[in-house]
Amino acid sequence: MPGNMISLFDDATLKGWRPAPRVTTARWPRDPMPRLDAATSERILRHTGRWTVEDGAICGRQDPPGCGLGAYLISDETFGDFELLFDARPDWPADTGIMLRASPLGSQGYQVLLDHRKSGNIGGVYGNGIGGFHAINFTLDVDHDLAGRPSALRLEDPATTLEPIDNAKRALLSQAASGETFLSAWKWDDWNEFRITVCGALPTITTVINGTLVAELDAGRLPSEVFDAEGTLAVLGTRGHIAFEVHDNDSRMGDARWGPDAACRWRNIRLRPL
């Protein structure tokens, strides 16, 4: 029988969570970690993000603003099969996500995408350090008002994309909403309710946003070209942490990946063991 709903956030403190740097990991779970020079490694390790509680929500930012280095906020507890509920409200642009069954590093695990930026996807699944699979069905861009301010999400023009989408990425999902269906459910500059279900040793992960099923991934059916099933089980097991992400910037996207003053906010964070 499913367990009772557990609150993972007390609305006032970060008790039960710890910040961590966004360390670089190998693409495949059984590969050695990338070797970085001492200066680069030290720079990454000293940035753990700015995580605050504001108006009853956890807020994640780069620290200092505009530094270009991301971080994770990782749950102290680990979880196996569960239903995770929370509300999220990202700025534009903010490239973030929710790590599931993550390793203690935070950067290895299944990530439900919350890429609220150009060429981003929301609700799909990415394989952080477990093969790099990118299971998505649409990519996004933004409209601007007359003053030049971002004003609404729209589907991206494939001719201008920074991350092309193809049928191979779509085929990784066992269920997927169209981009139009997603846009009809998403609330711009407002809170959006996520309901994520994780079930199975090689889990089926389902993302429902504001009551609309957006994506479902069956990890047990992923092709070996993009997923090392045995290696993933060896590294992650069947339980792991939950982590919220603040992404790095990079030379290709710069501030279009994470704006200098951008934040993502999470509230009403609850979990039901299954």
Q: Is residue 1 part of a domain?
A: no
Q: Which residues pair with 140 in a beta bridge?
A: 120, 155
* pLDDT computed for residue 73 by the predictor: 98
Q: Is residue 86 part of a domain?
A: yes
* pLDDT computed for residue 43 by the predictor: 85
Per-residue pLDDT tens for 61-112? 999 999 999 999 999 999 999 999 999 999 999 999 999 999 999 999 999 9
Q: Is residue 175 part of a domain?
A: yes
Q: Is residue 118 part of a domain?
A: yes
Q: What pTM does this model have?
A: 0.97
Q: Is residue 73 part of a domain?
A: yes
Choose among 202, 18, 209, 213: nearest CA to 127: 202
In the predicted model, is pLDDT for residue 1 greater than 80? no
CB contact at 8 A, 209 and 186: yes
Per-residue pLDDT tens for 23-37? 989 999 999 988 888
Q: Is residue 103 part of a domain?
A: yes
Number of domains in the chain: 1
Please report the beta strands in 48-93, taking only residues with DSSP state E, as ranges in sequence order.
50-54, 57-61, 71-75, 82-90
Average per-residue pLDDT for the chain: 96
Stated as kind and residue range, the H or E segment containing 236 is helix 229-236
Q: Is residue 133 part of a domain?
A: yes
Q: Which structural domain range is residue 82 located in?
A: 6-273
We report the CATH number of the domain holding residue 85 as: 2.60.120.560
Per-residue pLDDT tens for 123-159? 999 999 999 999 999 999 999 999 999 999 999 999 9
